[in-house]
Chains A and B, each alone.
Chain A
Amino acid sequence: MKRKWWIVVISIILFGIESIFANVFPASLFFEEWIFVPRFLFIFLLMLTVYYDEKTGLATAFIFGLLMDIVFTQILGIYLFWYPAICYVVAKLMKVIHNHLFIMNFISLFAITGLEFGIYFFFKILQFTKLDVTTFTEIRLVPILLLNFVFFVLFSYPLKKYFTQLYMEKQEEEGMFQSD
């Protein structure tokens, strides 16, 4: 019944994994300059918004964006803005185009690209980084997309299944109230 609460649990688990990821990931096995950034929580939020409920998705994105900002970036407003903003755009987009997991995969990668460029843009105008766009694409964007593509391939199917079930439950509940 309270299957909904797993949303919170999974979000916290993904947040925990992301926070220790940079510390234990053996990045030295790959090219030395490459920077791998996990966006697992973001993928989860995207799927939540698209497959379950837009309002819940945006609210969760907002809360965890704020959490990321407070704990890591120390500048309030970066993830706080981009997490919900991109989730919103993707949710609207997926209503227009055919909703298939394969297409969702592409859209997620586009969304991550958007997120990376968005954060890069913020850091650039705040003059926290001197990185130029070409280097940014080479050392950040490519490895990030690779890493998160792997995550998506592994976990998107079970996640979609879970959200679809949740959605059905919600529809049923609403239907019940309507018939009363």
Chain B
Amino acid sequence: MPQFFQNKRLIILLVGIIILVALIGFSLREREELTWPEQFIKDTAGFVQVVFAKPAHFIEDIVKNARDLMDTYEENKILKAHLDEYAQLKVENDRLVKENEELKAILGVKEDLASMTPRQAMVIAQSPDRWNEMLRIDKGEVHGIKKNMAVVTADGMIGKIHSVGKITSDVQLLTTDDRTNRIHVAIQAEQDVYGLIEGYDEETKTLLVKQIPSDKKVEVGQDVITSGKGGVYPKGLYIGKVEKIEPDQYGLTQTAYVKPAANFYNVEHVIVVERNATQPEEDLDGEETEE
């Protein structure tokens, strides 16, 4: 026994394992905020990452532009065909926006679920091992970013703010398999049909929208947007199109497989969207996202 304790290496190993387990346990807790050393290191790393992200994005742009040039002719043809349609849509859109504003003024409504404040941000890093899908952006607390804000690209929603540092923050992608990653969505059928995004199917590369009542009819190709009723995200952020519908195990609800519209990789710029409508109480808010 005394010889056992003389073995310095063994003791170091044992203490090391204890510290390791403690550390893992510490970081697995549900944490509202990061500890300050973590924040400090993250922000410092953010500086380095910006330095590398800028030239990387620059080179990527050049390559992309060159590739775009090659199929300009084909694209131009299609765009021309859409142009006439576009003018008409724009006129109609303007008219509807004006009408909507007037009606709101009459009713005295200032903010609805759809009103939001957008903030632009650049992607400075992406977790290289891709076990937890995570983007880092170059905007943080000082720019007014808060936890749980929605993050979108030009194509559609890609995720939410997971943790905020002073000048950088982390975005959790929709594809992350996380218990707290639930989003209340509306499928735009004749009448809006509501469901919850509950996870991501790796094989078909689709989001699973569950809890759709079985008496509601959903069709393939219908658009899916955020409903704004979960209390966290604004209404009307585009998510994707329904690709497949399946009845649930017990036939009480249906599951829709939704193809996300946004590309989660090779994202350069994102928009962080703040919901303007009043949010429910803080604790209530937490429960709602988890359910």
- A76–B27 CB distance below 8 A: yes
Our pick among A12, A27, A71, A77 for the contact of B23 (Cβ within 8 Å) is: A77
Residue pairs across A and B with CB atoms within 8 Å: the count is 108
Complex contact A23–B41 (CB within 8 A)? no
Type the 1/0 row for A14-29, where 1 means its CB is closer than 8 Å to any CB of B: 0111111111101100
Give the docked Cα–Cα distance between A73 and B26 (Å): 14
Which residues 36-94 of A sit at the B interface, judged by CB distance below 8 A?
37-38, 67, 69-78, 80-81
Decide if A80 touches B20 in the complex (CB within 8 Å): yes
Cβ–Cβ contact B26 & A76, under 8 A: yes
**Of B27, B28, B49, which is within 8 A of A19 by CB?**
B49
Measured CB to CB, the closest approach of chain A to B33, in angstroms, equals 13
- Interchain nearest-CB distance for B31 vs A (Å): 9
Closest to A129 in B: B131
Least distance between B198 CB and chain A CB atoms (Å): 14
Known A19-B52, A67-B41, A67-B45; contact A74-B27, beta-carbon cutoff 8 A? yes
CB <8 Å contact, B41 and A71: yes
The answer to whether the Cβ of A6 comes within 8 Å of any Cβ in the partner chain is no
- Are A123 and B41 in contact, CB atoms less than 8 angstroms apart? no
Besides A16-B52, A20-B53, A76-B24, 13 other CB < 8 A contacts?
Answer: A19-B128, A22-B126, A22-B265, A23-B135, A24-B57, A24-B60, A24-B266, A72-B132, A73-B127, A75-B24, A75-B27, A76-B27, A123-B131
Interface size on B, residues (CB 8 A): 40
Task: Enumerate chain B residues within 8 angstroms of A74, measured Cβ to Cβ.
Answer: 27, 132, 134, 163, 170
Which B residues contact A (CB, under 8 angstroms)? 20-21, 23-24, 26-28, 38, 41-42, 45, 48-49, 51-53, 56-57, 59-60, 123-132, 134-136, 163, 170, 177, 265-268
Q: Does A130 contact B (CB under 8 A)?
A: yes
Please judge, given known A-B contacts A80-B20, A126-B28, A130-B177, whether A20 and B126 are in contact too, CB under 8 Å.
yes
State whether B23 touches A18 (Cβ < 8 A).
no
Query: A16-B48, A20-B52, A73-B132 given as contacts; is B127 within 8 A of A26 (CB)?
Result: no
Measured in the bound complex, the distance between the Cα atoms of B267 and A20 in whole Å is 11
| Cα distance, A19 to B45, chains bound together (Å) | 10
Contact A71 B129 (CB under 8 A): no
Q: Tell me whether A70 and B130 are in contact in the complex, defined as CB-CB below 8 angstroms, given that A16-B48, A23-B265, A76-B24 are known contacts.
A: no
- B26 CB to closest chain A CB, in angstroms? 7
B124 — which chain A residues lie within 8 A by C-beta? 19-20
- Interface pairs A-B: 5 shortest CB-CB: A16-B52, A19-B125, A22-B126, A72-B127, A77-B23
